[in-house]
Amino acid sequence: MKITKINNRNLSFAEKIYLSEIVKGMIVTARHFFANLFHPSRIITVQYPEKKIPLSEAARFRTRHRLKKRKNGDAKCVACYMCQTACPADCIDIEAGEKEESIAEKYPVKFEIDLSRCVMCGFCVEACPEDAIAMDTLIIPGGAESRQELKLSLESLLLDSAETSERGAVNRRISAMSMQNAERKLKNAK
């Protein structure tokens, strides 16, 4: 392997004593402070987690799981354990039951996803032979006050359509932010 040595530029005297650099930094801070003070609508940060930026519709992120339903309202899941088998974080816990009258004789009595263990890899979605699990709710799981809150039960996974309609909320701010970041990076590179 070839080793490249990088000789950092020596600091000048003004830079070495830091004073001028501190002043430069304070000017930037002060500029933002006054800009935000007089034009609060232009603030680009939000008070997370009280406020959250809705994700863009085009976003193809893997977000919180949901279980799909059949037309009659039953879960599409047949408790085949493929997702539990594929899960590298061992966060899915299923218990199967038997139903006489439904389309498939097997159904999940318990379907629990432990979000505190989940690594959002999407293997469960890949493994599902029934297309019953999806990660398209656009809800990004965050913190919780107790570990129990991070365990998704079967009921909470079977979100109804009203809850899944969260997707589609377009957020220009987030795209604008990413544009600004990209521009800044380009400038720095030059």
Partner 1 sequence: MPRITIDGKIIEAEKGETILKAAERNGIYIPRFCYHPALKISGTCRMCVVEIEKFPKLMTSCSTEVSEGMVIRTDSERVRKARKQILEFLLLNHPLDCPICDQAGECFLQNYYMDWGLYKSRFPLKDKMKKRKRFDAGKHLILDNERCVLCTRCVRFTREITGTNEISVLERGDKSYIEVDEGGINNPYSLNIADICPVGAFTSKDFRFRQRSWFLKRTESICLGCATLCPVEIHHNKGKIYRIVPSQKEHRWLCDEGRLTYHKMDRELRTAIINGNAADLPVALKKGGAIITSSLKDSSVALAGSPYLSIEDNASLAFLAQKLLEISDYTFDFVFKQEIEDGISINSDKTPNSRFLRGFARKHGMKMTELNSKLEKGKFGVFICERKTLLQFFPRIDEKTTVISFAFEPPWKTPFKNEIIFPIPSYFQKEGSFMDFKGKIKKTTPCFPASSKNISEYLREMVGGGNKANKEEEQEFITKLLSEL
- Please report whether residue 69 would count as binding partner 1 according to CB under 8 A: no
- Please report whether residue 49 would count as binding partner 1 according to CB under 8 A: no
15 CB contacts (<8 Å, ≥6 apart)?
21
Question: Contact, 98 vs 105, CB < 8 A?
Answer: yes
Supply the DSSP string of 141-155, one letter for each residue: ----SSGGGGEEPHH
- Please report whether residue 74 would count as binding partner 1 according to CB under 8 A: no
Q: Which of 55, 78, 87, 157 binds partner 1 (CB under 8 A)?
A: 78
Which of 55/75 has CB closer to partner 1?
A: 75
- Please report whether residue 101 would count as binding partner 1 according to CB under 8 A: no
- Please report whether residue 82 would count as binding partner 1 according to CB under 8 A: yes
Residue 109 CA neighbour count, 13 Å, CB half? 5
Picking from 180, 190, 174, the residue whose alpha carbon sits closest to that of residue 57 is 174
Least Å from the CB of residue 136 to partner 1: 21
Q: How far apart are CA 118 and CA 120, in angstroms?
A: 6
Q: Which of 96, 115, 120, 121 binds partner 1 (CB under 8 A)?
A: 96
Q: Which of 74, 130, 136, 166 binds partner 1 (CB under 8 A)?
A: 130
